[in-house]
Amino acid sequence: MAALKYPRLRAVSLRVAQSVPVVIGVVIISFILTRALPGDPAVYFAGAAADEASIQEIRVSLGLDKPLIQQFFIYVGDLLHGDLGQSISSGQPVVKDLANRLPASLELTLTALILSCGIAIPLGVLAATRPGSWIDHMCRVLVTAGVSLPTFFTGIILIYMFYYLLGIAPPPIGRLDFIYLDPDRVTGFYLIDAALMPDWDTWRGAAKQLVLPAITLALFTLAPIARMTRAAMLTALSSDFIRTARAAGLSNRKILYGYAFRNALLPIITTLGMVFSFALGANVLVEKVFAWPGIGSYAVEALVVSDYAAVQGFVLAMALLFVALNLAIDLLYTVIDPRIGFAAK
Amino acid sequence: MTKISKVTTARSQGRFDHLAYVLRENPITMLAFVMFGLIILSAIFGPALVPYDPLETNAVKVLQPPSWDHWFGTDNVGRDVFSRVITATRLDLSISVAAVALSFVVGSVLGSIAGYWGGWLDSVLNRFFDTIMAFPLFVLAMGIVAALGNTIENIIYATAIINVPFYARLVRAEVNIRRDAGFVRAAKLVGNSNIRVLALHIFPNALPPMMVQVSLNLGWAILNAAGLSFIGLGVRPPTPEWGIMVAEGANFIVSGEWWMAVFPGLWLMIAVFTFNLLGDGLRDIVDPRKRT
């Protein structure tokens, strides 16, 4: 009965329920990845100087002597306690390391996405409303070039141009120059924390460091969003309801933004899910180029020293983050599209 | 817009005309084909033609800017960047071609099974693909290489695994809509086995869209492999490879030695760009309605 009364609630809970099997699948795959270590994990964790007895001891203590199914449940139990193992390089629990560094990655990714949506969506709309014009051609070139750009390469070119040649960008040494003190940690987002203090000098310093990596990541995500916006707007503008609206004499503005854009928004938001996948992957490369202390560069450092617990923790964290983002996008979908779940309203 | 004649007797003729028409109308696709040819040639003959040994160091000529002797300059141990960039084509191309071929085969088999027989097998496979797609793909590739071990073969496997769902879903959809088609029933009626019908009668229908996917995918696979080696996975120095060369050059960009990173990066970009253009061009040839 409750479900009938609250169709919106029903749609939302159905969507949340749908992500449960995906999370289970993600956990299974990351379990397989942790158990697929090259060779015997016990030999690896025991170190080079270990003899047969100590390897056996480690095997028992890691639970590797138990059947695989039992190992899996132990793994899931550990996950539920938030235990992803110890990082060898930092000596800290992996969860703590990831939590410390996650805000840096999120600040970079979100800034980049806001930036690229802010450019790509207007560009796509303009290209769709003026097909064949120079802006349409520019959109087309940008779209094909954008997907061909290796993120790490764009980043290096930008550093060369704006730091070495023009001297207007700060050196690529992370989130804040040494002359500033880190802002007090509230959210972990330097821009927000510095604004809360408020310490505008630090804010400017953090913003300066953020600009180039954010542009690099934005250039990469620009292409799919612009492409989808253009295609979705073209579809919307050629549909019957727009013809009717034009015939009824509505203003161009009303037609474009009130009707066409609102309908085009749905496929654009769907594309955002795919863009997130690319952005989270590209994030790793951008962080390496700009020495950005996020979870991506953490994973890269861990890879170099074969710190497997840290790498697998990172992969799992990224996957869960991505599932959560997709869930959020779909929920946003139900808010924007009145046809989904609001039928009885 | 011309209509392609659908008359079966003139089918191959019509196809060729259409190909010629698309190439004439779209010089960019033509350019993509030419560039594709050049890339293939430099992958095959490049290592034999380059002016210097890509591994030979020269302590006298360190970090020299581009000149007539060294078109792309020299790197921090005096190796010729041009020779290294051209030599690297073969390795980068082999990695991506091998990965795409692997995911093509595995994706085709799994997708055909899921689309033809359906049932629980279909649901299990779909769940599996959903799970792979639930990972940010580059990150999953990192995890796979970290788990399997840091070698070039594992880069290939990882790139193949993250691409399988795209092929499998495409094939599944193409097979599924044809499993009860008239020509399939006829083929079964005359006594062909399920496998034979699937492989020889249904699957070939999925090939045109698959080809488009392959071409777009090749560019992406090169980017992926270069990205992995950029963060230090797979290929090891001093092997010439674009990703690793950009990574080495990145250390010198802040002091102004741009040529070490820019030329391999540029080559990588051109290769990816070519495959993307080729994919778009092929799509125009295969399915003119999907032009954007």
Nearest chain B residue to A132 by CA distance is B292
Is B142 within 8 Å of A284 when comparing Cβ atoms? yes
Is A99 contained in some domain? no
User: Considering only CB atoms, which chain A residues are within 8 Å of B230?
Assistant: 150, 152, 285, 288
Q: What whole-number distance in Å separates Cα of residue A202 and Cα of residue A191?
A: 8
Asked whether residue A283 falls in the same domain as residue A318, the answer is no
Cβ-nearest to B292 among A160, A163, A231:
A231
For residue A88, give how far its alpha carbon lies from the nearest alpha carbon of chain B (Å): 15
Q: Do A178 and A275 share a domain, yes or no?
A: yes
A56 in any annotated domain: yes
Q: Does residue A329 sit within a domain?
A: no
Residue in A156, A163, A284 nearest the CB of B138: A284
A315·B226 Cβ contact <8 A: no
A226 touching B (Cβ < 8 Å): no
Which residue has 């599932």 as its token pair?
A323
**Long-range contacts of the stretch A324-329 (C-beta < 8 A, 24+):** A325/A273, A325/A276, A326/A19, A326/A273, A326/A276, A326/B134, A327/A15, A327/A16, A327/A19, A329/A269, A329/A270, A329/A272, A329/A273, A329/A276
CATH number of residue A186's parent domain? 1.10.3720.10
CB B232 to CB A304 under 8 A? yes
Task: Say if residue A165 is in the same domain as residue A78.
Answer: no
Q: Which CATH architecture has domain B15-290?
A: Orthogonal Bundle (1.10)
Query: Is the minimum CB–CB distance between A209 and chain B shorter than 8 Å?
Result: no
CB distance from A109 to chain B under 8 Å? no
Pair A185, A253 in one domain: yes
Mark A286-303 as b/e (b = at least 16 C-beta within 10 Å). bbbbbebbbbbbbbbbbb
Map out the domains of chain B as residue ranges.
15-290
Give the dihedral sign, CA A178/A183/A184/A189.
negative
Q: In which element (H, E) is residue B126 found?
A: helix B119-133
* Residues B245/B85, Cβ–Cβ less than 8 Å: yes
- Give Cα separations from A73 to A33, A34, A77 (angstroms): 15, 14, 6
Evaluate whether residue A176 is within a structural domain.
yes
Q: Are A300 and B231 in contact (CB under 8 A)?
A: yes
- Mark whether A278 and A236 lie in a shared domain: yes
Q: Is there a single domain that holds both residue A265 and residue A140?
A: yes
The reply to whether residue B276 touches residue A144, judged by beta carbons under 8 angstroms, is: yes
Per CB-CB distance under 8 Å, the chain B contacts of A303 are 142, 146, 231-233
- Structural domain of A125: 104-296
Do A85 and A119 share a structural domain?
no
Q: Are residues A187 and A257 in the same domain?
A: yes
Same domain for A219 and A196, yes or no, is: yes
φ, ψ at A142 (rounded to 5°): -60, -40
Q: A258 and A180 share a domain?
A: yes
Q: Are B227 and B138 in contact (CB under 8 A)?
A: yes
Comparing CA positions, the residue from B219, B240, B92, B238 lying closest to residue B155 is B92
- Report which of B104, B142, B97 is spatially closest to residue B234, judged by C-alpha positions: B142
Pair (A197, A246) in one structural domain: yes
In total, how many domains does chain A have? Answer: 2
Q: Is residue A1 part of a domain?
A: no
Burial of B174 (0-12, 13-18, 19+ CB in 10 A): buried
Check A33 against B147: CB less than 8 A apart. Answer: yes
How many other C-beta atoms are found inside a 10 Å radius of the C-beta of residue A178? Answer: 7
Evaluate whether ipTM surpasses 0.95.
no
Q: How far is B180 from chain A (nearest CA, A)?
A: 30
Say yes or no for a CB contact (<8 Å) between B253 and A164.
yes
What whole-number distance in Å separates Cα of residue A147 and Cα of residue A85? Answer: 37
A148 and B254: CB-CB below 8 Å?
no
Q: How far is B175 from chain A (nearest CA, A)?
A: 25
pLDDT tens per residue, chain A (345 residues)?
444 556 667 777 877 888 888 888 888 888 888 776 655 666 666 666 667 777 777 777 766 777 778 878 888 888 888 777 777 777 788 888 888 888 888 888 889 989 988 988 888 888 888 777 778 777 877 887 777 788 888 888 888 888 888 878 787 777 777 777 777 777 778 778 777 778 787 888 788 888 889 988 888 888 888 888 888 888 888 888 888 888 888 887 888 887 888 888 888 887 887 788 888 888 888 888 888 888 888 888 888 777 777 888 888 888 888 888 888 887 877 777 766 554 433
Judgement on whether residues A60 and A126 belong to the same structural domain of the protein: no
Question: DSSP assignment of A299-322, as one string?
Answer: HHHHHHTT-HHHHHHHHHHHHHHH
